[in-house]
Structure 1
Amino acid sequence: MTVSPPRVLTIDDEAMIRETIAAYLENRGYAVLEAANGRLGLECFLEKRPDLVLVDLRMPEMDGLEVLARIRDLSPQTPTIVVSGTGVLRDALEAIKRGAWDYVTKPILDMDVLGLAVDKALERARLLRENRAYQENLEALVRERTAEVERTRRQIMQRLSRAAEFKDNETGRHVVRVGEISALIGRAVGLSPQECDMLRECAPLHDLGKIGIPDAILLKPGPLTPGEWEIMKRHCLYGCEILGPLGSLQDARAWCSDPLPPARGADHNPLLTLARTLALLHHERWDGQGYPFGLEGEDIPLEARIVAVVDVYDALRSHRAYKKAFSERESLEILRQGAASRFDPRLVAVFFAHLEAIQAIRDKWKDEEEQAP
C-alpha cells in the first residue's frame, strides 16, 4: 500500500523563503503547500488540512499570531511551527501561548535545524494520536465491560423476581406489570427517565421475600390466623435481607432494621438500594398503620408509595390459587377508599388520571388464564 508523504503548509509573505523551505522539505520527502499571507494560509489549511504548518509572524492581511490562534481553535492536534525573523523573546512567548509547538528564527543558517523541528513536531503529533487512540479504545473497553456487568446485574434481578413469583404466580407477569405501571406513575409525578427506568427494574423485586414464607401460609385458601399473618409480614424483611449487604446474615438484618439506612461503601449500588427499599417498605401505609415500621405520609419514600398503589391494584385484579380476581370496578373502588388512609392520595389521583394507559399495560401482560378462551 502506497503511503502519502506528510503534507507541510508554509505561510510566508517572502516568496524566496517559501521556495527555499519548499525545496528543502520536498528533498526530504515531504509534500509542501505554500501561501503568501495569513488569510490565504488559513484558507489553504481549511481546504487541504495539512499535517503541519510553518508560519511567519509578520505578514499582511492576517499576521501569524492570528493564524496560530485560529488553527489552535480549529484543530489543536495539528502541529504548528513559527519561522520568523523577529527574534524577540516576547514574540516567541506569545506564539507559544497562541498554540505554536516550536520556534525557528530567520534567517535559517542551517536548514537542518528546520528539518529537525519538523521531524520532532510530526513525531510528537503521531505519538499524541496513538495515545489518544489508545485512550479511546481503553475507554470504549471499560464502557463495554461496565455495560456487560450492568446487564448481568439486571438479568440476575429479573430472575430473582421471577423466582419469587413462582411461589404464587407461575407466569411471573404480575411483577412485569407492577414494574411497567410503577414506571408510568413515576413518570407522571416527575421522576426523571433514569429514575423511571430504575423503578421499572426494581419494582418487580418488591415481593422477593415471599421465597422465605412457607407455602402452607403463602398459598392458604382462606383467612390467615394472627400468628400466620405475623409470619406473612416478614416477607418485607426477608426481601430486604436477600438484597442486603453481602457478608453475614446478621449484617443484612442490621441493615434492614433501619427503614432508611445509609449507603454502604462497596455494597452501594443505586439499583440494589432501590430494590431493597421497595422490598422493605411497600406495605407501609400513608396513615402510619402499615408494616414493618409504621412510617407515615411522606416519610415513606415516593417509589415505595408508588409500588404500594400499583401492587395492590394488580394483586386485586389477578387470580391466585387462594383467591379469585376482583373485577375492575371492585379493584378501583378499593383504591378510592384507600386514598389518604392506605395510599398517598396524590398518587391515587394520578393513577386514575392514567387509567387507560394502565389498563393497556395489563392487556399487554395478561396472565395465561386470562388469555385462555
Structure 2
Amino acid sequence: MNILLIDDDQANLALLTHLLRAIPGAVPIESSAPCEALEWCRENEPDLILIDYMMPKMDGLQFLEAFRALPDRASVPVIMITADTQSDVRHRALQMSANDFLTKPVDKTELRARVTNLLALRKAQKQLASRAAWLAEEVRKATREIVAREREAIHRLSRAAEYRDPETGAHLLRLSHYAALLAANLGLDHVQQELIRDAAPMHDIGKVGIPDAILLKPGKLDADEMEIMRKHPQIGADILKNSTCTLMQIAATISLSHHEKYDGSGYPQGLSGEDIPLYGRIIAVADVFDALTSARPYKPAWEIDKAVALIRDGSGTHFDPKCVDAFFKDWAAVMHIYSQYRDENAA
C-alpha cells in the first residue's frame, strides 16, 4: 500500500522510509515539495499520507486543505507530524479532517502502530468499496436482464397483434422511432425516450378484441362498426393494466390515450389539452403520420406533402401543437426513419 511521505528535510524522509519498510506491504513514496506532492495526488491515490507541519511555501495544514478538496480524496487517511508545543495546529488539523498525529521526535514503535492501524482501516475501506462496486454492477446486470425480458414480452405481444391487424411490422418500427425522436425533440431524457420507443408497438394491442369482419373490412366502417372499433383503446388498456412493469404501465397509457384529440373530440374518454397523457399525445402525431403515408387494404399511401399538411392543419385541434412542432423540428431524421423502415412491398 502506497504511503506518501512529505517533508522538506531529506534526513527525516530517509528515516521515515527506513522505518516504514519494516511494515509488510508498505511502499513509501518520498516528496520534499508539498506542491509537487499535491500534483502527484491529482493523478494518483495514496493509501496513507504522512506530512510534516513546518514546511516552506505550503505548510501541512495548507496541503491538507488542498488535498481534501481533490475529487475522491476525502477518505484517504492523513497523519500530521507536529511538535509537542503545537496543540493549536493539532486542533486546526482535526477540524480539517486529519486522522492522526505523530510528535517529533518520532517514536518508531508509535509510528509503526499508528501506520499499521490506519493501513488496516484503509484496506477494509477499499474492500468495502470494491464490494459495493461489485454489488452495483450486479444490480445493473439484473436490471438489464429484467428490461430485456420486458422488451421481449412487448415484442411478442406486438407480433401476436400483427397477425390480426393489417398494419405491418415495419409500421411498428417506424412508429417507435418517430415517437422516440419526437420525445427527444421535446426534451425528454434518454430513459423516457427508450420507454416510449419500446412501448409504442403496443398502442393498438386492443385490436385483438375486435372482430375480423370489422378489423379487416376493406371499406369504410359504418356507425355501429365504428363504435365497436373505438373500444380497442380500452381493451388494450385492460390487457396491460395493473402491471408492476413500468414499460407495461406506459404501454397501457399509450393504448388508452393515443386516439384522444387535443380539442377533446377524440375517444374513448374525450380528454383535451394536457389532460391527455404526454405519451398519448406523442403517439397520436407519430401514428397518424405513419398511417397516412402507408398503404392499407382500404387505401393507398398518401404523398408526404399531403400528410405533412394534414398534421400541420391538425395542430391545436387533433394534435398537441408542441408535439407537432417537435415532430417537424428534425425533418431529416423523420425522413431517414421513413426510408430506413419501408414496408417490404413498398415501391
Task: State the Cα distance separating 1:63 from its structure 2 match.
Answer: 2.0
Counterparts of 1:1-373 in structure 2, within 5 Å, are 6-12=1-7, 17-28=12-23, 32-35=28-31, 38=34, 51-74=47-70, 75-108=73-106, 110-169=107-166, 171-246=168-243, 267=244, 269=246, 271-321=247-297, 323-328=298-303, 331=307, 335=311, 338=314, 340-344=316-320, 347=323, 357-370=333-346
Distance of aligned partners of 1:174 and 1:106 in 2 relative to their CA distance in 1, 3 Å threshold: same
Is 235-244 or 41-50 further displaced after alignment? 41-50
Unaligned runs of 5+ in 2: none
Kept in 2: contact 1:9–1:45 (CA 8 A): no
Instruction: Give 1:209 deviation, angstroms.
Output: 0.5
Map Cα deviations across residues 142-193 of structure 1 (whole Å, 9 max, x no partner).
1121122122212222322222222123741112222222333444455444
Matches of 2:44 and 2:320 in 1, distance apart? 66
| Larger of the two Rg values belongs to structure | 1
Query: Is the Cα–Cα contact under 8 Å of residues 185 and 329 in structure 2 kept in the other structure?
Result: no
- Structure 2 distance, partners of 1:291, 1:129, is 59
Secondary structure of the residue aligned to 1:368 is coil
- C-alpha contact 1:165 1:175 (8 A) present in aligned 2: no
Q: In the alignment, residue 70 of structure 1 is paired with which amino acid?
A: A
- Deviation, 1:235, is 0.6
- CA gap of 1:224–1:101, structure 2 versus 1, over 3 A, is same
Distance of 1:80 and 1:215 partners within structure 2: 77
Distance change (3 Å), C-alpha of 1:40 and 1:210? closer
Cα distance in 2 between the residues matched to 1:332 and 1:79: 65
Post-superposition shift, 1:234? Answer: 1.0
Question: Compared with structure 1, are the counterparts of its residues 332 and 107 closer, same or farther at alpha carbon in structure 2 (3 Å cutoff)?
Answer: closer
Q: What code does the residue aligned with 1:239 have?
A: G
CA contact (8 A) 1:55 1:84 kept: no
Q: Tell me, in whole angstroms, the C-alpha distance in 2 between the residues paired with 1:135 and 1:284.
A: 47
Distance 1:368 1:122, change over 3 A: same
| SS of 1:58 mapped into structure 2 | coil
Q: SS of the counterpart of 1:167? A: coil
- What is the SS of the residue equivalent to 1:129? helix
Q: 4+ residue runs of structure 1 moved beyond 6 angstroms?
A: 43-49
Q: What is the Cα-based RMSD across aligned positions, in Å?
A: 3.4
Assess if the C-alpha contact under 8 Å between 1:282 and 1:307 holds in 2.
Answer: yes
1:51 to 1:166, Cα distance in 2 relative to 1, 3 A: same
The TM-score, its normalising length taken from structure 1, stands at: 0.77
How far apart, in 1, do the equivalents of 2:33 and 2:318 lie?
80
**Cα distance, 1:135 vs structure 2:** 1.0
State the 1:317 CA deviation.
Answer: 3.5
Decide whether aligned partners of structure 1 residues 41 and 167 sit closer, same or farther in structure 2, where only a CA change above 3 A counts: closer
Instruction: Give the TM-score normalised by structure 2.
Output: 0.82
Tell me if the contact between 2:253 and 2:280 (Cα under 8 Å) persists in the aligned partners. yes
* Distance (Å, rounded) in 1 between the aligned partners of 2:46 and 2:322: 64
1:97-132 CA distances to partner (integer Å, 9 max, x unpaired)? 333221122334x52111111111111111111111
Distance 1:69 1:335 in 2: 61
Quote the Cα distance in structure 2 between the aligned partners of 1:162 and 1:234. 20
Identity %: 38
The answer on whether the counterparts of 2:185 and 2:327 sit within 8 Å (CA) in structure 1 is no
CA distance in 1, matches of 2:308, 2:56: 81
- Aligned mates of 1:352, 1:40 — CA distance in 2: 55
Is the 2:236–2:255 Cα contact (8 Å) retained in structure 1? yes
CA contact (8 A) 2:168 2:343 kept: yes
1:54–1:315: structure 2 CA closer, same or farther, 3 Å change rule?
closer
SS where residue 370 of structure 1 aligns?
coil
| Range that drifts further, 231-240 or 33-42 | 33-42
